[in-house]
Amino acid sequence: MTYAEFRDNGYNYFDKNNNILFSVDKMHNYLLDYIDANLSCLPKILEQYITQRIDASDFELKKYKNNIEKINKIKELLISAHPYYEYEYKRTIIKAIGNYFNELLLYSVFFQKTLPLNCTLDEDWYLEKLHVLIPSSLVVAGDYPNNFSPFDFYHKYKIWIDDRGYQAGEIEESLIPDIPSEMPIGFSEELRIQEIIRNLLFQTLCISQPLKDLTNSDITKATLPSFYEINNLQELLQLEIANMSLANTVVKRCENCGKYFIPRHKSQKYCNRIDETGLICAKAAKKKLKKDRLQNNPALKIYETAYKRNHARKKNHIISQKQFNSWQHKAKKKLMQVEEGTLDISVFQEWLKK
């Protein structure tokens, strides 16, 4: 069990021994990175992992294949999406494997009909398969997370079957709702949570905009209780968004990298992330803008080249500072004339060559 203690526009997340696991401040960077994190390859990796260990049609175990690198990749992806997963990845992955296994059974039994129902209801048969699928690196000394042992998943599977009266064989299959008609998608719960949080953040931001004018009213003095028991990432992030809403937090999209951030002042356009060019967003945007201006202005481009050449000449004492200043003054004047259309660019180019 983990806990979160909320304070003014932020919170601490900690374990049962009161150790702080991570903290969130008023910039809410973890949440804003999380809603943009790319989790879309998780289902594919899980499917590859499972079908390397088991035949997806008859559920025969394959010759033992130690494909633990797939699990490590999943762990890495989860943790890079949100630090919550650093402490919860074992439970998250075991849950995803168990749920996927159950859905795959339903799909094979009822839709593909490659597997007889009775065989899947045999407890030994079921547990043998699922034990092979849950990697031992996630289970220290047989210690499964609460509600997520192979037996718990077997129990859930059996209840699903019992609830629909399949064992009695009295009910027409085609009349039963929620028989999976497509290959199941792994990690559907984690993907769903991300979608919910993304939508919730947008909705909350929209309705929080008018509140900005009421900064001194009683509405903004509302507070949340500060202490919470946290059962999953969705709970934690919903509380965080409520906390942001009460603090009238405004979120913007960075005009450089497109990710969300919380501006320190109204006119801030860029976040403090490092973009793919290795520069902080504001600097990267400035560089791009300059490049665009040069590309759209051939006269400025040839001026810049000549400027660099003359600057180097000055540095190497080929021309004096005075000569350089005089050149720059004239060159700028001519550049302006080209831009105004009173001087031909080819004449300007010839002059610069001198």
Residues that bind Zn ion (CB under 5 A): 254, 256-257, 271, 273, 281
Helices (H), the chain: 29-34, 42-53, 68-81, 84-106, 117-121, 123-133, 150-163, 188-208, 233-246, 281-296, 298-315, 321-340, 345-353
Shortest spacing between CB 201 and Zn ion, in angstroms: 17
What sign results for the dihedral spanned by CA atoms 300, 306, 308, 310?
Answer: negative
Shortest spacing between CB 287 and Zn ion, in angstroms: 13
The Cα 95–Cα 93 span in angstroms is 5
The Cα 280–Cα 34 span in angstroms is 19
Identity of the residue, 81 or 236, whose beta carbon is nearer to Zn ion in the bound complex: 81
Identity of the residue, 102 or 256, whose beta carbon is nearer to Zn ion in the bound complex: 256
Shortest spacing between CB 279 and Zn ion, in angstroms: 10
Identity of the residue, 21 or 282, whose beta carbon is nearer to Zn ion in the bound complex: 282
Residue-wise DSSP of 166-225: TTTT-S-GGG-TT---S---TTHHHHHHHHHHHHHHHHHHHHHSGGGGGTTSGGGG----
The Cα 336–Cα 343 span in angstroms is 9
Smallest CA-to-CA distance from 97 within 37, 54, 159, 160 is with 54
Smallest CA-to-CA distance from 278 within 249, 256, 303, 251 is with 256
Shortest spacing between CB 295 and Zn ion, in angstroms: 22
Shortest spacing between CB 255 and Zn ion, in angstroms: 8
CB 150 within 8 A of CB 105: no
Scanning the structure block, which residue is given the tokens 């919730």? 200
Identity of the residue, 121 or 271, whose beta carbon is nearer to Zn ion in the bound complex: 271
Identity of the residue, 33 or 235, whose beta carbon is nearer to Zn ion in the bound complex: 33
Shortest spacing between CB 40 and Zn ion, in angstroms: 21
Identity of the residue, 50 or 254, whose beta carbon is nearer to Zn ion in the bound complex: 254
The tokens for 290 are: 């300059």
Smallest CA-to-CA distance from 81 within 135, 40, 125, 112 is with 40
Identity of the residue, 97 or 257, whose beta carbon is nearer to Zn ion in the bound complex: 257
The tokens for 206 are: 């929209």
Shortest spacing between CB 257 and Zn ion, in angstroms: 3
Identity of the residue, 233 or 284, whose beta carbon is nearer to Zn ion in the bound complex: 284
**Coil, strand, or helix at residue 57?**
coil
Shortest spacing between CB 282 and Zn ion, in angstroms: 8
Shortest spacing between CB 335 and Zn ion, in angstroms: 32
- The backbone torsions φ and ψ at residue 79, rounded to the nearest 5 degrees and listed phi first, read -65, -35
Identity of the residue, 13 or 261, whose beta carbon is nearer to Zn ion in the bound complex: 261
What sign results for the dihedral spanned by CA atoms 83, 243, 187, 89?
Answer: positive
